[in-house]
Amino acid sequence: MCQLLGLNCATPTDATFSFTGFCQRGGATDHHADGWGIAFFEGKGLRLFIDHESAAASPVAAFLRGYPLKSRNIIAHVRKATVGEVCLENAHPFTRELWGRHWVFAHNGDLKDYHPKLHSHFLPVGSTDSERAFCWLMQELAKSHASVPSVAELTLTLRELVPQISRLGTFNFLLSNGDALWAHCSTKLHWLIRQHPFQAATLMDEDWTVDFADINQAGDRVAVIVTTPLTRNEQWAAFAPGELKVFVDGQPVG
């Protein structure tokens, strides 16, 4: 299985602290060494970095840990391959365009023999069940709305679509269009909110403590979503199996 990391923020925020601990799970403290990736939304733009090497050893990941990029929506992934070979086109997150916006998706799980009927506009580049599921979701969202829907409307549609995939296997995922971040739990996913008054946090996978009170303002707020808690001294909440949450401006809204 893979691991997921997502940040949804009220103000542009860097993921250096969380990403540093998360990378160690890509081959150092855990066995998810079959590729990694991270996507940063910046307005309508998107910075995407993917690699088929392990995150713990990747020079690209090391560069990003030392070069903070600020964003309001960030999705990262470390892969343990189950369906599809270890190669660049199978590295998450995946991206597609819909309604003139970038969409980003990363999946943790296994959908055996999953081959949905796909139309020509949304087709997979690689060979993973994850990318096929993403293409199907994009296809069905496009079919369900004639114009750009609100976050609330998108959430309602996703609540109808997601069970059609999750009944076929394990379907933990993160999805964002730059306005919101949707997180679905099939088996395991955790979340927390960092906000004023900020506290210190210590990573589980790296010897690093940060006092967020020293680097944040009163209006800053960050929702962190991850497969397994990243820190040892913060209160993480577990998703319920089958739960879909949507985060906007660093807090859950549905």
CB 41 within 8 A of CB 73: yes
Q: What are the structure tokens assigned to 71, written together?
A: 């964003």
Closest residue by Cα to residue 209 from 233, 190, 182: 233
209-211 and 200-202: which strand pairing? antiparallel
Q: How far apart are CA 223 and CA 237, in angstroms?
A: 11
What is the Cα 41 distance to its own chain's centre? 12
CB 223 within 8 A of CB 250: yes
**Could you say which DSSP state residue 113 is in?**
T
Could you write out the DSSP letters of every residue in 28-95? TSSB--S-EEEEEEETTEEEEEEESS-TTT-HHHHHHHTS--EEEEEEEEE---SSS-SSGGGPSPEE
Set 2, 9, 23, 135: catalytic member = 2
Q: Is 2 assigned a catalytic role?
A: yes
Q: What are the structure tokens assigned to 250, written together?
A: 């660093």
**Catalytic amino acids?**
2
